Structure 1
Amino acid sequence: MKKISKPQTIFIDLDGTTLDGKTKGKNQNYFSNQNKQIFNELKEQNINVVVSTGRGDLPKTWNILKTANSDQNCILWNGSKVYANGKLIFEKSISNELVVNMINFARRSKISTIVNSDFYNKTYPTTLLLKTILKLLKGKINRYSQFNYKEPIYKLIFMHKNKKNLFKFEAELKKLYANDLEIAFSGKNNSLIEVTAKNCSKGNAEKILSNYFNWDLNNSYHFGDSMNDASAKNVVNKLIAMKNASKNFKIQADFVSEFNYKKGGFAKTIKKYFEMTEE
């Protein structure tokens, strides 16, 4: 394959794509030195590197972004918040009515929920396994009967250990709310359902940010690993899947890297497929 000429912008997912290190004994993820080095090399070539993630506007996320000097321009909660030059330029939460309906539906279906990507503090578990995990990690076990409908909710994550139940729940959500919400699978082997407000997708957020800076989307690329990255298809020039990506996302992607995200897979992909300097 001929190398891709120098891009203007590269949008990167975190988990399963570029966030390839994890502290043993702690649930702390980080970028490997290989990936941090390639971020710096890209920026030295005046290539914009923008994090486009499902992670939320939380201290843990900002700490990760700062380690890569990527906290000024970023996309959070799959596009529910967009930052440019450190300023919030787009924000949209899910309507209260839709939140109430979905939470009641999840409760009836015995589906667990994570609110605003805050696993430790805002998980509503329905299984003994998830409750046990939360206890071991010293997280909070919430009950649906005490759900806080007053806070702005930018993203809901639904999960269940039984894949059949989860797929059935996702199908029903789309049947009821396809015109009102963005609904996508994520996680390893489509183990999670992520829901955001309508038009809060990575693809739409990348349009918003590119329009703000007058970046050329035809000279932009998106790296990801799951179906919440698929919205960038036909928005950027090429949608690139890591080798470890979900089967459905690989089908959507324009091409698949030969490298798994671990051990600097993103850096290896850039070096193999992209020209780093102008010819």
Structure 2
Amino acid sequence: MKRWKALVFFDLDGTLLDTQSKISKENQQAIQALRQNNILPLIASGRSPQEIKQITAKTSIHSYVSLNGQYNVVENQVVSKYAFPINILLKLMDVARLFNHSFACYSDKEYAACYRDEIMEKLYRLDNAPLPRLSTDFHLKNEIYMGYLFSEEEVKDALYQEIFADTLTFYRDSPYSLAVVLKGQSKKAGIQQIIHHLGLAHLPTYAFGDGNNDLGMFEAVRTSIAMGNASENVKKYADFVTKSHVEDGIRFGLNHFKLLTRKEENNDY
């Protein structure tokens, strides 16, 4: 087992990824340098485990908080996961239909929707991600860890929150979508569960993010770093603001905190 010196959590979209939703060569090198320096790099994202695996395939990242804290993995080992009770999921789908909002269900391996519409297509085009496959019974045959509502009607966000106040949390993560998780789950909770699992609460922890759904992540670590492209609301909660995600902001931030300095030794237990 590695003797880790620190943990660094990265959001994906608008943070570790470029405008094509890829990890740049420079960021790949930075991630590798972290591991060589006995610092564990982790992803904290609303994206699915399968998406994260594909995106990080050329890196040495094998740990992540996925689906906004619903499915969490350390070095390829699942440490916590939270599936939707079927009665809550069915009620959510009924309300989405009532509001004429399309909806996707996420398992740990794939995602599917009963139908597609223009707003759904806008979101996946923005994320450079494949559209959900179509299925009317996917949610009945798979454990569902996150829901995705597709809506541009922000005025209705509060209605969802009111209807499901005791059971679900809604994160508006784009002009077109709301991520839906079980009440009590979040990037913050997922990070806390991973740190507890590793028994490393005494170590320095860092998080890079750019969106409002990263604010909980900032609360879970000792040092929070906002990207230069983050909103002013996100920046005001950060301990440090680095350059934007297209201006080598990850390496700039890591260098600022001296996390890329190579150690002389590489000790294992």
TM range (shorter): 0.7 to 0.9
The CA deviation string for residues 100-145 of structure 1, in whole angstroms up to 9 with x for no partner, is 11111111111122221899843633448839x89xx9856748xx
Alpha-carbon distance in structure 1 between the residues aligned to 2:130 and 2:254: 38
Change (3 A) 1:89 1:105: same
Equivalent residues in 2 for 1:158-169, closer than 5 Å: 158-160=149-151, 162=152, 165=153, 167-169=154-156
Aligned length: 253
RMSD: 3.0
Q: Decide whether the 8 Å contact of 1:217 with 1:236 is kept in 2.
A: no
- Residue 110 of structure 1 aligns to a residue whose secondary structure is coil
Change (3 A) 1:238 1:178: farther
Counterpart position of 1:153:
144
Alpha-carbon distance in structure 1 between the residues aligned to 2:163 and 2:221: 29
Structure 1 length-normalised TM:
0.78
The CA deviation string for residues 27-72 of structure 1, in whole angstroms up to 9 with x for no partner, is xx321111011111222211111111111122x431222311112x
Unaligned runs of 5+ in 2: 264-269
Unaligned runs of 5+ in 1: 1-6, 23-28
Alpha-carbon distance in structure 1 between the residues aligned to 2:23 and 2:130: 25
Residue 54 in structure 1 maps to residue 40 in structure 2: no
Residue 261 in structure 1 maps to residue 253 in structure 2: no
Change (3 A) 1:121 1:183: closer
Counterpart position of 1:234:
219
Identity %: 22
Change (3 A) 1:247 1:154: farther
Alpha-carbon distance in structure 1 between the residues aligned to 2:168 and 2:246: 32
- Residue 61 of structure 2 aligns to a residue whose secondary structure is coil
- Residue 220 of structure 2 aligns to a residue whose secondary structure is coil
247-256 or 172-181, larger mean C-alpha shift: 247-256
The CA deviation string for residues 222-276 of structure 1, in whole angstroms up to 9 with x for no partner, is 111112212123321122221222444334433332x111243212222234454
Q: Return the letter of the residue paired with 1:157.
A: Y
- Residue 196 of structure 1 aligns to a residue whose secondary structure is strand
Change (3 A) 1:230 1:217: farther
Alpha-carbon distance in structure 2 between the residues aligned to 1:272 and 1:198: 36
Moved over 6 A (4+): 117-120
Counterpart position of 2:165:
178
Q: Decide whether the 8 Å contact of 1:20 with 1:264 is kept in 2.
A: no
- Residue 41 of structure 1 aligns to a residue whose secondary structure is helix
Counterpart position of 1:8:
6
Query: Equivalent of 1:103, from 93, 109, 116?
Result: 93
Alpha-carbon distance in structure 1 between the residues aligned to 2:57 and 2:120: 34
Q: Return the letter of the residue paired with 2:150.
A: M
Change (3 A) 1:269 1:124: farther
Q: Decide whether the 8 Å contact of 2:82 with 2:145 is kept in 1.
A: yes
- Residue 224 of structure 2 aligns to a residue whose secondary structure is strand
Alpha-carbon distance in structure 2 between the residues aligned to 1:61 and 1:251: 28
